[in-house]
Chain A
Amino acid sequence: MPSTEPVLERKRLMRALALGREDRLIELMGQLGDLPPFEYLRKPQKGLVMVKARADAHNAPFNLGEALATRCSLSVNGNVGHAYVLGDEPTKCLAAALADALAQDPDYRPAIEQIALALEMDLARERAAKLEKIQKTKVEFFTLVRGEDAD
């Protein structure tokens, strides 16, 4: 395997970019310093994704309903970056598409991976904090034997 092989797959990078907080993503991108110019292939655009689910949780799929989403495509030095994020999020979507394009440039790849890891860390922290509160509501029920009818 060549040494330039990305450490994080594109799928994982894109997940971190989509689930990360917009302000944090922009803050981290801002720390990269001067970035090469980009060209829009598709300006941030609002649209819908029909969300599918499965009957009985794992049976045949059905259409649950639509979700608002934003998409964007651009190129940086010939590298094409794409992003799809839920919600009406033009800025976040632009930042994610830029990160996706830059990640294809070996000079920027390590920095983008660091950003993705930082976003994943934030997410893990947020989720753990939430989980801690939720776990306090874990309940143990006991069944009671009714009256004299026992045995």
Chain B
Amino acid sequence: MYVAVKGGQKAISEAHKLLDETRRGDPSVPELSLEQIKSQLSLSVDRVQAEGSLYAPNLAALAVKQAKGDLVEAIFLLRAARASLKRFGYSEPVETAAMRPERRVSATFKDIPGGQILGPTFDYTHRLLKRSLMDHDHGLETYGSGTPSFYPQASEPKGYDQTEPPAGKPTSQAIGRATSRAASRQNGEGIRNFVQGPSPNPTDEEAPSVSPQAPPRAGELIGAATFLEREGMLESVESQSDERESFDITRQPLEVPLGRSGRLQSLARADEGFLLALAYSSQRGFGSVHPFVAELRLGPVEVEFMAPEIGLAITIGEIEVTECQTANQFKGGGGKPPMFTRGYGLTFGHNERKALSMAIVDRALRSRELGEAIKGPAQNEEFVLYHGDNVEASGFVSHIKLPHYVDFQAELSMLREMRQKFDQDRETPEDQK
């Protein structure tokens, strides 16, 4: 049993003051604004919204700032904020088919209607640090350039390596490149090409020209998955609508077995790292899921809400979402023919790794339904759904650092008694037992 402690108020309030001070950091450095966080650390904000299960970019940016960039702490803050708000109701299901995609790729078909759009992606970058993004790029070219300005009396330093060319000149090819790069800093394109290599699809005359007056893209985007489904090689969606009402884990206790709606809601707010590890384990063989990405898309969708006082479903705004549909090989069974089966991932904001992992884990959790052998943790519903929430997980793990003096004393005295008995038993000669 946990026994609480009292006291410590003064130290606690001083600790919080110190926290505020360290959060602010060096006061000579300008304070971060929420706009800066929203626009320049947008993927942090998106992760906090997805796992905080609340679409509110301003509040998520505030949470990131308040948590000093600790995203799991920020997610906790956002969950706490949502708990204080009244719920107006449920939206109409958002139509991702009507999304205006900002990114849309398929690993199964190279030609999908509407085309593949790379959008703002880290894919195909060389993962080299971009010195042009540094606040103060001292520039490699200054190395070995002679007398430092803060030491005016110094004589020309002599390098240990006598073969080095005279100071003040580039000493290697690398520095030479860096110098020319620094010189072309004005020319952003030059830097980009140097750091990332030529873009996979350079902007050229063949790029489709769009007049500014062009109407917004409308109508249903035919997804890559639709093709497979029409051919009968992907299970049809109607074949697995098992629930009449969607489960709401914020209103009903989570119990297994859980239908797909409750599972998807739970996975949509589960920890990205947890889902990533599970998806990885499944791909490596602790499970059976190693799918193809039929389609991954990112973009805004409009949210419609049926307000009873208006009597119409009206658009109340737009949210950005990432959607991932996977196709996974299925050898057949349970009356179903060999075909590809589906996994689905959807998250608030731009969260590709999360959406992809979610789709893999969603499919892994369909193992029982599809009559597959349960071989890995990713296929174990109870394991996945009860351990994926990082607010619960971090609360339960972290609580053990709070005072447990009474519990500890109780265990200590119990162990002392046991030890005493153990020692006595050992001292007693065998024949007297």
List residues of chain A with CB under 8 Å of any chain B CB: 10-11, 14-15, 18-19, 45-69, 71, 73, 82, 84-88, 123-125, 127-132, 134-143
| Given A87-B317, A128-B210, A138-B117, A57:B87 Cβ within 8 A | no
| Given A52-B94, A87-B56, A131-B210, A67:B261 Cβ within 8 A | no
B200 interfacial by beta-carbon distance below 8 Å: yes
B125: min CB distance to chain A, Å: 13
Contact (Cβ within 8 A) A46 B85:
yes
In the complex, the chain A residue whose C-beta lies closest to that of B85 is: A48
Q: Which residues of B contact A124 (CB under 8 A)?
A: 213-216
A selection of 20 A-B contacts at a CB cut-off of 8 Å is A15-B302, A47-B88, A48-B82, A48-B85, A49-B305, A50-B89, A50-B91, A52-B91, A57-B325, A65-B269, A67-B319, A71-B307, A82-B310, A85-B317, A88-B56, A128-B211, A131-B210, A138-B208, A139-B115, A141-B116
CB < 8 Å neighbour of B309 from A82, A128, A143: A82
Q: Which residues of A contact B315 (CB under 8 A)?
A: 11, 14-15, 18-19
A123: min CB distance to chain B, Å: 7
Expressed in whole angstroms, the Cα–Cα distance for A69 and B243 within the complex equals 28
In the complex, the chain A residue whose C-beta lies closest to that of B83 is: A48
CB < 8 Å neighbour of B260 from A46, A55, A73, A139: A55
Expressed in whole angstroms, the Cα–Cα distance for A86 and B59 within the complex equals 13
Report the tally of A-B residue pairs with Cβ distances under 8 A.
Answer: 247
Contact (Cβ within 8 A) A125 B212:
yes
Interface size on B, residues (CB 8 A): 90
Contact (Cβ within 8 A) A50 B90:
yes
Nearest first, the 8 A-B pairs at minimum CB distance are: A86-B317, A68-B56, A62-B261, A67-B55, A15-B315, A65-B53, A59-B237, A137-B118
Contact (Cβ within 8 A) B317 A19:
yes
A52: min CB distance to chain B, Å: 4
Contact (Cβ within 8 A) A134 B102:
yes
Expressed in whole angstroms, the Cα–Cα distance for A88 and B88 within the complex equals 14
Q: Which residues of A contact B58 (CB under 8 A)?
A: 87-88
Contact (Cβ within 8 A) A66 B54:
yes
Expressed in whole angstroms, the Cα–Cα distance for A133 and B269 within the complex equals 31
Q: Which residues of A contact B412 (CB under 8 A)?
A: none
Binary per-residue interface labels of chain B (52-64) against chain A in the complex, 1 for a CB within 8 Å, 0 otherwise: 0111111100000
List residues of chain B with CB under 8 Å of any chain A CB: 49-50, 53-59, 82, 85-97, 100-103, 105, 110, 115-120, 200-201, 203, 207-217, 223, 225, 237-238, 240-243, 246-250, 260-262, 264-265, 268-269, 302-303, 305, 307, 309-310, 312-319, 321, 323, 325, 342, 344, 346, 348
Q: Which of A10, A11, A123, A139 has the most CB of B within 10 A?
A: A139
Contact (Cβ within 8 A) A67 B303:
yes
Contact (Cβ within 8 A) B246 A128:
no
Contact (Cβ within 8 A) B92 A66:
no
Contact (Cβ within 8 A) A129 B261:
no
Q: Which of B120, B243, B264 has the most CB of A within 10 A?
A: B264
Q: Which residues of A contact B309 (CB under 8 A)?
A: 73, 82
B88: min CB distance to chain A, Å: 5
A24: min CB distance to chain B, Å: 15
Q: Which of A14, A48, A143 has the most CB of B within 10 A?
A: A48
Contact (Cβ within 8 A) B237 A137:
no
Contact (Cβ within 8 A) A67 B260:
no
In the complex, the chain B residue whose C-beta lies closest to that of A14 is: B314
Contact (Cβ within 8 A) B317 A139:
no
Q: Which residues of A contact B55 (CB under 8 A)?
A: 51, 65-68, 86
CB < 8 Å neighbour of A52 from B59, B93, B217, B307: B93
Q: Which of A54, A88, A124 has the most CB of B within 10 A?
A: A54
In the complex, the chain A residue whose C-beta lies closest to that of B50 is: A65
Expressed in whole angstroms, the Cα–Cα distance for A54 and B240 within the complex equals 13
In the complex, the chain B residue whose C-beta lies closest to that of A9 is: B312
Q: Which residues of A contact B344 (CB under 8 A)?
A: 55-57, 59
Q: Which of A61, A62, A123, A128 has the most CB of B within 10 A?
A: A62
In the complex, the chain A residue whose C-beta lies closest to that of B57 is: A87
Known: A52-B92, A134-B117, A138-B116. 14 other contacts (CB 8 A): A47-B85, A49-B91, A49-B316, A52-B91, A53-B93, A54-B94, A61-B93, A65-B54, A69-B88, A84-B307, A84-B316, A87-B56, A87-B317, A128-B216
Expressed in whole angstroms, the Cα–Cα distance for A50 and B82 within the complex equals 11
Contact (Cβ within 8 A) A49 B246:
no
CB < 8 Å neighbour of A18 from B246, B312, B316, B319: B316
In the complex, the chain A residue whose C-beta lies closest to that of B240 is: A59
Expressed in whole angstroms, the Cα–Cα distance for A64 and B82 within the complex equals 14
Expressed in whole angstroms, the Cα–Cα distance for A87 and B320 within the complex equals 13
Q: Which residues of B contact A56 (CB under 8 A)?
A: 225, 237, 325, 342, 344
B50: min CB distance to chain A, Å: 7
| Given A61-B261, A82-B307, A131:B214 Cβ within 8 A | yes
Q: Which residues of B contact A53 (CB under 8 A)?
A: 93-94, 96, 321, 346
Contact (Cβ within 8 A) A86 B346:
no
Q: Which residues of A contact B318 (CB under 8 A)?
A: 19, 86
